[in-house]
Structure 1
């Protein structure tokens, strides 16, 4: 039997909180990018937003939620390199999406193309993370849930990118980050509901327990997020909110 909340619903609550925090910081960073007149000044803000949204809002949320994943009677381990690769994918695809809509003049075509790229990348991040999982039992994915998760990922990415390039007020940003967190969690748990078990595997279970990856992941995340929050809080705005709708 597959369990998605083996430690209770605390993993769901923490995952949602992490996703909302990362999304909020990312939206604040994209607001700063929109206040910059030159593309060269926008890029650092957008890259910071990619880490906040992709690295924290999406990937760390995924990892925290996976702490609750267990299979009765099975040993589950994680390949550290594939796990790290999934994190790189999350940051990279969100970064590409933000750069597509953030450099040059904003338009609907750019939003659609960025949403498709980012959504497919987020799905790739999730299933790369799942590929990092090894167990002494076969695991496979129901195609219907895979396609549903991909659809949600594209919709969530489009929502995130649209909000990132449209919101100015802090209250709206926090509300939007909650919407983004709901979408990211919906994508993750939809995909996880499609996991199916098969026959026992006779090979060795290679990798480390998820708890062994928490300390390096949490240390890096907290360190970078504190830097991003400090920069957002201390850097004076270049112009007043609402004055930037040009490219």
Structure 2
């Protein structure tokens, strides 16, 4: 079995990956709070933005940053770019599916469990597809117990994330929930990495091609920086959940006053002294 290093640069990669996971979770949860007070296209848009935030920034980017710290002494590792991109799309799609299952459901535990199962299995699939995208001269296998544990962690993390998105309100609660989600996502990733076994072998003829991890770094940081800026500006400039609720309540009061005024118009013509409620 080949010796591998998951922490080549010390705590830098896991710490940065955790921070990005928390950031993606925070932005995504703020989008979910906006979705709770909207209907129609606006609700679908906010849930879609939440899926991109959590799936791309909170999960996929965390995986990629952590993988920058993965090395095999004496070997170069490259990545199949199309497969890597597909893994990102899977992360966004499954988080979106879970959010829509719960967001458009009746709030039942069955819907929450279904959404969590979809998200968890999807996130695990993203992780192992991302691992399969590695191009190297050796072969990989997985410890079945640790692999199963990583899937269980992913399902639990997905369910908790959807539950948090349904109930958490306020900046403080969102920050706390984001920290918990970051731990869950990182825990799933490193459990999956602990399950991996690398063996000398038989893929030397296939080795070559692909993109190096560093080749991903600049476009990744640029893309995530732009995405984070756009998401932050969008959330900051949009009305908060409380402001939207207050606006809805104000409009309902105005409509009620108009209805009462309209119903009192005949009496206004018949009696002096103004409108009688």
Same fold, TM-score > 0.5, yes or no: yes
Aligned residue in 2 for 1:4: 6
Quote how far apart the aligned CAs of 1:206 are: 2.6
Query: Matched residue pairs, number?
Result: 240
Inter-partner Cα distance in structure 2 for 1:23 and 1:84: 20
Q: Which of the two has higher C-alpha Rg?
A: 2
What is the match of residue 157 of structure 1? 158
SS in structure 2 of the partner of residue 178 of structure 1? helix
Equivalent position to 2:18, from 16, 19, 26: 16
- Give a deviation string over 1:181-237, Cα, whole Å, max 9, x none: 000000000000111111233213331111101122222222122111111101113
Specify the SS of the correspondent of 2:208: coil
2: CA distance, partners of 1:35 / 1:168: 12
Q: Would the aligned equivalents of 1:39 and 1:103 in 2 still touch at CA under 8 Å?
A: no
Match of 1:66 in 2: 67
Given that residues 74 and 137 in structure 1 are in contact (C-alpha distance below 8 angstroms), is that contact kept between their aligned partners in structure 2? no
Contact 1:139 1:198 in 2 (8 A): yes
Name 1:52's counterpart in structure 2: 53
Residue in 2 aligned with 1:184?
A: 185
Structure 1 residue 2 displacement after superposition? 0.7
Which deviations, in whole Å up to 9, do the C-alpha atoms of 1:29-80 show, x marking residues without a partner?
Answer: 00000121x2332100000000110110000000000000011222211011
Q: Does 1:224 align with 2:224?
A: no
Deviates more, 1:178-187 or 1:231-240: 231-240
- Runs of 5+ unmatched residues, structure 2: 250-277
Q: Which has the higher helix share?
A: 2
List, as ranges, runs of 4+ consecutive aligned residues in structure 1 with deviation greater than 4 Å: none
> Structure 1 unaligned runs (5+)?
none
Equivalent residues of 2:105, 2:111 under 8 A apart:
no
Counterpart CA distance in 1 for 2:222 and 2:204 is 36
- Does the 8 Å contact 1:115/1:154 carry over to 2? yes
Higher relative contact order (CA 8 A, sep 6+): 1
Tell me the TM-score normalised to structure 2 length: 0.84
Counterpart position of 2:217: 214
User: 2:175 and 2:25 mapped to 1: Cα distance?
Assistant: 9
